[in-house]
Amino acid sequence: AGAPGAAKTPEPSAGAAPYPDIGELRTLACDALLQESFYQSKQRPFLYRDQDHTPGPFLTQLVSTLAASLSGHNPLLAASSLDLNPEVNYYWHHGEEVVVHGHRKGRVDPVRFQIDDNPHLQIRVPKQLPEVVPLESDLGDVPVIDHKPSKLPLFKKQYENKVFIGSKVADPCCYGHTQFHLLPDRLKRERFIKERLEDQIEVVYRSNGIASLFAWTAAQAMYQGFWNEADVTRPFVSQAVVTDGKYFAFFCYQLNTLALTAETIENNPRKNICWGTDSKPLYDVVEDGHVKGFNDEVLLQLVHFLLNRPKEL
Amino acid sequence: VFPGVRQAQWLTKTKLVEGLPPAVQGITDNPALGLQELEERAKQVVSHARLWDTAEVAPRRERYCPVLFENLIHICRLMSGKYPSLSKRMLARNCRVAATWERESILLQVRGLSGILMNSMTPIPPVASKEEILATKEHVLETFYPIAPTIDLQEVNVYKELNDTGFRDGYPYSHPHTLFFLESANVRTGRFRPEQLRAKMLMFAFGNALAKARALHGNDPKVLEQPVVVQSVGTDGQLFQFMVFQLNTTDLVSNDGVKNLVWIDSDQNLYERAQCVPEVKKGVVTKPAGISGFQPDTFKKFLALYLHGTV
């Protein structure tokens, strides 16, 4: 079984129109952060639920106020649908294995994968995002992995085989724009540093970005009628932001092919592509009602993401 | 059990006016807002919340009630593209409020999680004129003799008489604008009935207004020069209750003098029914799938309350 894409360098920025006021947006972001971490009286966070206390609400506030504020600059946002805690599912076959025991022993079966994802927040839109590179581009090789997917923690449990983008097929907002993922407490940076696994920190962000975006774009493609025997005729592009509340990593994914089963992958030269950044902090610390060390670069990248839209708009 | 709103009126020394105040009605009638286009979006948003939001057949109330609220607020928030001053608003979830006051020698308290609160940098201007406020002096509060007005209230020993808005000093969005109450329990007995919901809305709007008035003007009981206005919206995912509360006085001990005012528009349906799967009887579709009986006026009132004070 192989991973469905190859991670690459930072992605190109989006369309230009009259620029929004960065100072205003910075104020909105700081206000959201200060409200959740300082001004609102809250009780102590529950055990191992630190993410629900401040980072979660902050992310929700940040995205909803920024998206609303930028909707004047991006008509796609003005027609968007904002989902809180949606479900995203995708089911596919890739590779083959031999059945080990039972009455079907010895037969060859496709290996089944199911992703069940719960982004913190996602924006769905009625028009597709433009392609980043042409459909047939080849930007590198895909690593090959020989052991079964159930050896990886992601694919152990498979209960129901579902394909879902966050809303049913009847919804006019059937294309994905941006997802926002909040890392859980057990994957906190401090834990990695304590166990001297600093090199694994970026892996968490990247794997989340690739897996979630693949599932989302592939499910969107299925909603449009494509499947592994009728491959996509246009690339499906979506974006994701993975964060732990302070550090943000940005990802952009282009789905070029759904044909991953043993039969269809043989003559399929297309590859799916994911571009991503390393995680960078949005701010240093919140002290006494002030945000110290606010990083405009991260905010700008977020604004670029939200402003992304097809060229005709 | 007991007519909830009438009891709440006595406890908060408030006079009731049926229907929404003219200031809010004016917003719904304003053609410049482009409310016709928004109606389409509102319908879509109801369909999303009630029909499309789950991989299962039908979402449950625990899911569709908050989702409907978030979707409606999203549409309202998107208007800040057109009216930039709307971005001076911030939503706060799970906020706690505490307010204590005395009514005829009974010490009363409102405390706890007051739902979802939208705060604003600027206060809502008073909705009743000075004459209307003075006219409330004539109004006599309804009493419930021989039933004590504190019936069904929880009696507790209060050691600290707290007044807390739920936010620290220096918070830029310091004016409570609108409270949202979502009755999203799946089982009907877990939800407040409309009358009780309206009473809860009144008590918490009063609590927030009182805590804010005390923070602005001190703890001495007096008639307020600048009345504090707080709005409330309650829903179970289909039926909406709209309320505008104006705190005119913090002198609450006696039954005379200026009273507080509340405007209530009750039991407004946003839509008649949401059919996830078409109902088929004897091979004929009797109820097609989809949302039927959508009432745009209810959405207009929701939006008007959101825009009130800014537009």
Per-residue model confidence as pLDDT tens digits over A222-241: 999 999 999 999 999 999 99
Say if CB A29 and CB A62 are below 8 A apart: yes
DSSP reduced 3-state for B193:
coil
| Contact at CB, A289 and B170, closer than 8 angstroms | yes
Structural tokens at position A254: 């282009």
Q: Is pLDDT above 50 for A12?
A: no
| pLDDT for res B118 | 93
Cβ atoms of B244 and B229 closer than 8 Å: yes
Q: Which of B296, B269, B245, B275 is nearest to B127 (CA)?
A: B245
* Cβ-based contacts of A70 with chain B (< 8 Å): 81
- Give CA–CA dist B278/B137, Å, rounded: 56
What's residue B7's pLDDT? 84
Residue A250 pLDDT class (50, 70, 90 cuts): very high
Number of Cβ within 10 Å of residue A220's Cβ equals 25
Q: How many CB atoms lie within 10 A of CB A103?
A: 6
Structure tokens at A140: 């590198």
Q: What is the pLDDT of residues B61-105, one digit of tens each?
A: 999 999 999 999 999 998 887 788 888 888 998 888 888 888 887
pLDDT of res. A154: 62
Give CA–CA dist A89/A5, Å, rounded.
18
Model pTM score: 0.89
Per-residue pLDDT tens over the stretch A172-188: 999 999 999 999 988 88
Measured between beta carbons, the chain B residues lying within 8 angstroms of A57 are 93
Q: How confident is the model at residue A38 (pLDDT cuts 50, 70, 90)?
A: confident
Label residue A129 exposed, middle or buried (CB < 10 Å: 0-12, 13-18, 19+).
buried
Please spell the DSSP secondary structure of A98-159, one letter per residue: E--SSTTTT-EEEEEEEEEE--SEEEEESSPPPPSS-TT---SPPPB--S-GGGSGGGS---
- The identity of residue B47, as a single letter, is S
Q: CA–CA separation, B293 vs B274, rounded Å?
A: 9
Q: Strand, coil or helix: what is B156?
A: coil
pLDDT value of position A15? 42
Domain membership flag for residue A180: yes
pLDDT in tens, A139-167: 888 888 777 766 776 666 677 889 999 99
CB contacts of B82 in chain A (<8 Å) are 72
Q: What is the pLDDT of residues B248-290, one digit of tens each?
A: 998 888 888 889 999 999 999 999 999 988 888 998 988 888 9
CA distance B209 to B191: 25
First-to-last C-alpha distance (Å) of chain B? 40
Percent pLDDT > 70 in chain A is 91
Specify the pLDDT at position A153: 66
Q: Residue B124: pLDDT band by 50, 70, 90 thresholds?
A: very high
pLDDT given for residue A50 in this prediction: 84
Q: Mean of the per-residue pLDDT values for chain B?
A: 87
Residue A5 belongs to a domain: no
Cβ contact A294:A22 at 8 Å: no
In this prediction, residue A140 carries a pLDDT of 82
Sign of CA dihedral B12, B18, B21, B27: positive
For A296-309, the pLDDT digits (tens) are 999 999 999 999 99
Please tell me the predicted confidence (pLDDT) of residue B152.
67
CA distance A50 to chain B (A): 16
In angstroms, the CA A191 to CA A185 distance is 9
- The residue type of A98 is V
Please report residues of A whose CB lies closer than 8 A to that of B52.
Answer: 167-168, 170-171
pLDDT band of residue A49 (cuts 50, 70, 90) is confident
B48 close to A (CB below 8 A):
yes
Average pLDDT, chain A: 87
User: How high is the pLDDT of residue B8?
Assistant: 87
Question: Mean pLDDT throughout B241-248?
Answer: 94
* The token pair that represents A304 in the structure block: 């670029």
- pLDDT tens per residue, range B166-189: 888 888 898 999 999 999 888 888
Is A65 close to B52, i.e. CB distance below 8 A? no
Cα distance between residue B231 and residue B127, in whole Å:
11
Residue B146, preceding peptide bond in cis (omega within 30° of 0): yes
Within an 8 Å CB–CB cutoff, is residue B60 touching chain A?
Answer: no
Does residue A11 form part of some domain? no
- Would you tell me how many other CB atoms lie within 10 Å of the CB of residue B222? 13
Contacts of A24 in chain B (CB under 8 A): 87
Whole domain around residue A245: which residue ranges?
Answer: 22-141+158-307
Q: Pick from B1, B4, B9: which is nearest to B262 by CA?
A: B9
Q: Are strands B223-235 and A285-287 parallel, antiparallel or unpaired?
A: unpaired
- Listed by start position, the domains of chain B span 3-307
Question: For chain A, what is the domain count?
Answer: 1
Tell whether the model's pLDDT for residue A6 goes beyond 70. no
Give Cα separations from A293 to A25, A290, A297, B119, B205 (angstroms). Answer: 16, 10, 12, 27, 38
In whole angstroms, give the CA distance from residue B172 to residue B40.
34
d(CA A134, CA A128): 15
Contacts with A106 (C-beta within 8 Å, 6 or more apart), sequence order: A98, A99
Residue that wins the pLDDT comparison between B31 and B41: B41
User: For residues A15 and B222, which has the higher predicted lDDT (pLDDT)?
Assistant: B222
What percentage of chain A carries pLDDT values higher than 90? 53
Size of interface A-B (CB pairs under 8 A): 90
Q: Does A45 touch chain B (CB under 8 A)?
A: no
Interface test with A, best of B45, B52, B275 (most A CBs within 10 A): B52
pLDDT for B157 beyond 70: no
Would A313 be classed as within a structural domain?
A: no
Label residue B1 by pLDDT band (50, 70, 90).
very low
> Would you say B17 and B261 are in contact if contact means Cβ atoms under 8 Å apart?
yes
Structure confidence at residue B158 (pLDDT): 65
Tell me which chain B residue has its CA closest to the CA of residue A88.
B55
Interchain CB distance below 8 Å, A164 and B55? yes
Higher pLDDT: B31 or B265? It is B265
Q: With an 8 Å Cβ cutoff, is B56 touching chain A?
A: no
pLDDT at residue B2 in the model: 47
* pLDDT, tens digit, 9 for 90 and up, residues B214-225: 989 988 888 898
pLDDT at B3 > cutoff 70: no
